[in-house]
Structure 1
Amino acid sequence: ANGPGLIMQALGGTAIIFFALSGYVLTTKKDFSFMGGFLMVGLLVVVIAAIANIFFAVPAVSLAISSAIIFIMSGLILFDTSRIIHGGETNYIRATVSMYLNLYNLFTSLLHLLGVFNSDD
C-alpha cells in the first residue's frame, strides 16, 4: 500500500478507537480510575523493552512494543476520559495534553503496525 493510504488507515483506526472508547465511558458512567496502576506498570515495562530493543534491534520485539502501546494507550483513553467526566482531573490543560499524547502514541503505533504488515519486503 502507498504512504497516504496507510496514513489515512491509521488516522481512521485512531478515530474509531478514540470515539468508541470515549463513547463507552460516556454511556456506561463506569469509573475507570482503578486502571491507573496497571497502566503505569505497563508503560514502565514498554519503556524498558523499547530501550532494550534499541540495542538488540529485534523486529518481533518492535511489533510487540507497538501492539502493547496500542493497548496501553486505549486503556489510558478510558482512564483519562473517566477522570475528566467524574471530576478526578481538575487541571484541564494537563488533561488535554494527556489526551493528545494518548492519541499521538496510538496513531504512531498503529501506523507502525500497518506499515510493517502492508510492506512488500
Structure 2
Amino acid sequence: MENRIATMTRTEASVLSTNRVVRNTYMLLSLTLAFSALTAGLSMAMGLPHPGLIITLVGYFGLLFLTTKFRDSGLGVLFVFALTGFMGFTLGPIISKYLSLPNGHMVVMQAMGGTAAIFLGLSAYALTTRKDFSFMGGFLMVGILVAFLAGLGAVFFEMPGLSLAVSAMFVLLMSGLILYETSNIIHGGETNYVMATVTLYVTIYNLFTSLLHLLGVMNDD
C-alpha cells in the first residue's frame, strides 16, 4: 500500500513538473516572439542593412552558448531575450527585401501564415496524442547538420538551386523538430524551459525564413 502511494506521488509530481515546463515554455516563447518581432520592426523602420552571414553566425552561436551556460539561472532568461532580439534584428532586413518585391506583401503574409499553421498544427498534434517522437532525434541532428553545411555551400559558391533545395529540406526538418521537441517536453526529456524555448524559437525562425525563400521564388515573375 505504501509503495503504491509512493508511486502515485512520484507520478503526480512528474505530471505537475511536465505541465509547469510546458506552461513556462510557451509563455516564454510567446514573449520572445513578440520581442523578436519588435526588434525586426525597429531594424526595418531604421532601414538597417543585414549584418552579414559571419556576424549573424557569431552572434547566434555566442548568445546560444551563454544561454546554455546560464540556463538554470535568471541570466538564462535574459540571454534568451538577447538571442531572440538579435535574430529578430537580422530578420528585419530580410523581410524588407521581400516587401520591396512586386508581390512582397503577399509572400511575407503567406510565409507567416504557413509558419503559424505548421507550428500550431504539429504542436497540437503532439500535445493531444502524446506520441513519443524521440526516435527522430538522430535523423534530425544529422539532417540539420547536412542542410546547414549545404546552405553555407550554396551561399559561398552562389548556387541558387542548392539554396532552394536547402530551404525545402529545412521546412521538412523543422516540422520534424517541432514534433520531436514538443514530445520531448511532455515526456520529460526536456526539463529546462529556457532551452525548450530556444529550440522552438529557432525552429520557427528557420521555418519562416525557409518558407519565405520558397514562396518568394514561386511568386517571382
Same fold flag (TM > 0.5):
yes
* Equivalent residue number for residue 38 of structure 1: 139
1:7 and 2:108 are equivalent in the alignment: yes
1:80 aligns with 2:181: yes
- Could you tell me which residue of structure 1 aligns to residue 64 of structure 2? none
TM-score (norm 2): 0.53
| Conserved? CA contact 2:155–2:163, under 8 Å | no
Measure the CA separation in 2 of the matches of 1:53 and 1:5: 26
By how many angstroms is 1:108 displaced? Answer: 0.5
Structure 2: state its 5+ residue gaps.
Answer: 1-101
Between stretches 102-111 and 45-54, larger displacement belongs to: 45-54
The C-alpha deviation readout for 1:56-82, integer Å capped at 9, x for no partner, is: 222111110000000010011001111
Of all paired residues, the percent bearing the same amino acid is 63
| SS, match of residue 89 in structure 1 | coil
RMSD: 1.1
- TM-score, normalized by length of structure 1? 0.94
Letter in 2 for 1:5: M
For 1:91, the equivalent position in structure 2 comes to 192
Q: How far does residue 92 in structure 1 lie from its aligned partner after superposition?
A: 0.3
Higher relative contact order (CA 8 A, sep 6+): 1
Letter in 2 for 1:94: M
Aligned-partner Cα distance in 1 for 2:185–2:170: 22
Paired residue total: 120
**4+ residue runs of structure 1 moved beyond 4 angstroms?**
none
